[in-house]
């Protein structure tokens, strides 16, 4: 039984079917296809359950060891749908499994009384394709969050990355046209949906993601460094995320090498932390990144760590002087917000939603290019001014506290209520 800790709108759904085909909220972010979307689904589902809304997350089974149903939190179930082999598949292989996945979702609903689910929330375009069919079969509204958009990604492609295929572009266009509401992470993404995909402006709602303010908190830097075996007087630059061209950890590595060229005295103090694992088109990147580190002569300054659970990741952020987010595109950039919540300034690329996640000149810096010179200048400029870094650190905490998963969930539930009301009105008009 779910205990409601918050009032629920009379229009809010009783039970929501969340679709996350290609990645599960149970997976560790930072490797494979697990990242910010996993955090988003997990946190919003848990917050909804606290408000008395039951949530069932449908995701593709990737192992025969996974149970058909797992409890993520009280009031939140994760259903593993068999679609294709029991192994991870590349995103280019997943469209071929959408028929099987959709069948599994519809079969699950068929075991219940009609009207079991009140609303569908799909995440990423693959899930939107499934949600589109389920919406029509169940007669409930579809709310969709893209998280990333193919046209946007292809317009700012990282060197060595693979363009998104035409099939994805068409799939996204179809979902945008069919969804009852579209959730954009930022106003920038909302404009992209409207301008590049022809979305109806009235159907697009901007709802920023949040940060877990209970676990990403400031803490003693000395203790964090001791736990990681880092010198207390080191200059620590950290990257956390999947090792792939889109996330651009190589930009930080090249910038660090350039910093040492300009100031050799840093060589004995500089530490570059790379936290994450391979993903998608970046499956060869960990090896390539290590080779780049060696070729630049900074292997002694660079440390690689596997993806970290939240407590350890928060410790990495506390240990760092600066967290770098050099991505070529980010719909929002949760890592930037999580680092700031720990009291660490962020230097980020001026792309996508990062100008919302980081306030330039207040909680961190935004770099308009991806060149080693510009990034070295931004990073070194902060390192040389500890007073400014301390000011940024205080501002970073205050900025991060403006975002919470509770606030995100409240706005989502309002959008659900509006979508439900509009859907019912439209259905009644058709019936008449």
The reply to whether 1 sits in an annotated binding site is: no
Judge whether 395 is annotated as a binding position. no
Please tell me whether 37 is known to bind a ligand: yes
Give, rounded to a whole angstrom, the gap between the first and last alpha carbons of the chain.
Answer: 39
| DSSP letter string, 288-356 | HHHHHHHHTT-TTTEEEE----HHHHHHHHHH-SEEEE--S--SS-HHHHHHHHTT--EEEES-TTHHH
Question: 344, 325 in Cβ contact below 8 A?
Answer: no
- Do the annotations mark residue 36 as ligand-binding? yes
Answer yes or no: is 124 a known binding residue: yes
308 annotated among ligand-binding-site residues: yes
168 marked among binding-site residues: yes
Q: What is the DSSP-derived secondary structure letter of residue 360?
A: B
The answer to whether the annotation marks 28 as part of a ligand binding site is yes
Closest to 66 in 3D by CA, of 80, 76, 85, 55: 80
On whether 141 is known to bind a ligand per the annotation, the reply is no
Is 148 annotated in some ligand binding site? yes
**Is 242 marked within a binding site?**
yes
- The answer on whether 373 is annotated among ligand-binding residues is no
Q: Concatenate the DSSP letters of all residues of 200-264 into one string.
A: -GGGEEE------TTTS----HHHHHHHHT--TT-EEEEEES-BSGGG-HHHHHHHHHHHHHH-G
320 is in an annotated binding site: yes
Cα separations (Å) of 84 from 22, 34, 161, 234? 12, 19, 26, 48
Residue 154 known to bind ligand: no
Is residue 33 annotated as involved in ligand binding? yes
Tally of CB atoms within 10 A around 15:
16
Please count the residues of the chain. 432
* CB proximity list for 43: less than 8 A, separation 6 or greater: 210, 212, 405, 408, 409
The rounded distance, in Å, linking the Cα atoms of 180 and 178 is 7
Q: For residue 10, say whether it is annotated as part of any ligand binding site.
A: no
Residues 6+ positions from 426 with CB-CB distance below 8 Å: none
Decide the pairing of beta strands 76-81 and 69-73. Answer: antiparallel
Q: Which residues are annotated as a binding site for UDP-N-acetyl-alpha-D-glucosamine?
A: 28-29, 36, 242, 247, 308, 330, 338
Q: Which residues are annotated as a binding site?
A: 22, 28-29, 33-38, 91, 124, 148, 168, 242, 247, 308, 317-318, 320, 330, 338, 344
Q: Which residues are annotated as a binding site for Mg(2+)?
A: 317-318, 320, 344
Q: Which residues are annotated as a binding site for 1D-myo-inositol 3-phosphate?
A: 22, 33-38, 91, 124, 148, 168
């Amino acid at each position: 039984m779910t205990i409601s800790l918050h009032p629920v709108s009379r229009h809010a759904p009783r039970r929501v079917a969340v679709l996350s085909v290609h990645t599960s909220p149970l997976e560790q972010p930072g490797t494979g296809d697990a990242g910010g979307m996993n955090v988003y689904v997990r946190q919003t589902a848990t917050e909804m359950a606290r408000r008395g809304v039951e949530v069932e997350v449908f995701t593709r089974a990737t192992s025969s060891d996974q149970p058909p149903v797992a409890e993520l939190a009280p009031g939140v179930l994760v259903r593993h749908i068999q679609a294709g082999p029991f192994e991870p598949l590349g995103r280019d292989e997943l469209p071929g499994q959408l028929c099987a996945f959709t069948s599994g979702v519809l079969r699950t609903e068929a075991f219940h009384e009609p009207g079991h689910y009140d609303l569908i929330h799909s995440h990423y375009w693959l899930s939107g394709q499934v949600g589109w069919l389920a919406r029509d079969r169940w007669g409930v509204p579809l709310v969709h969050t893209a998280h990333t958009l193919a046209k946007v990604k292809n317009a700012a492609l990282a060197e060595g990355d693979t363009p998104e295929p035409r099939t994805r572009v068409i799939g996204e266009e179809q979902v945008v046209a069919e969804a009852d509401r579209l959730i954009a992470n930022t106003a920038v993404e909302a404009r992209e949906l409207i301008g590049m995909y022809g979305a109806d402006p009235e159907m697009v709602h901007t709802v920023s993601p949040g940060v877990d303010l209970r676990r990403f908190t400031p803490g003693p830097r000395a203790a964090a460094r001791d736990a990681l075996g880092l010198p207390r007087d080191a200059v620590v630059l950290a990257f956390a995320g999947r090792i792939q061209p889109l996330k651009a950890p190589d930009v930080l590595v090249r910038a660090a090498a350039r910093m040492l060229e300009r100031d050799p005295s840093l060589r004995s103090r500089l530490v570059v932390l790379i936290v994450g694992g391979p993903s998608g088109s970046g499956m060869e990147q960990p090896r390539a990144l290590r080779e780049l580190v060696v070729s630049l002569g900074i292997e002694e300054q660079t440390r690689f760590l596997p993806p970290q659970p939240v407590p350890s990741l928060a410790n990495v952020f506390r240990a760092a002087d600066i967290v770098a987010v050099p991505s070529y595109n980010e719909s929002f950039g949760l890592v930037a917000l999580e680092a700031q919540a720990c009291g660490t300034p962020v230097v980020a690329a001026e792309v996508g939603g990062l100008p919302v996640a980081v306030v330039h000149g207040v909680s961190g810096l935004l770099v308009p290019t991806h060149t080693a010179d510009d990034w070295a200048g931004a990073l070194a400029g902060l390192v040389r001014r500890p007073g400014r870094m301390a000011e940024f650190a205080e501002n970073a905490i205050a900025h991060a506290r403006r975002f919470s998963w509770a606030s995100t969930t409240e706005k989502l539930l309002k959008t659900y209520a509006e979508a439900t009301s509009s859907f019912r009105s439209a259905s009644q008009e058709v019936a008449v």
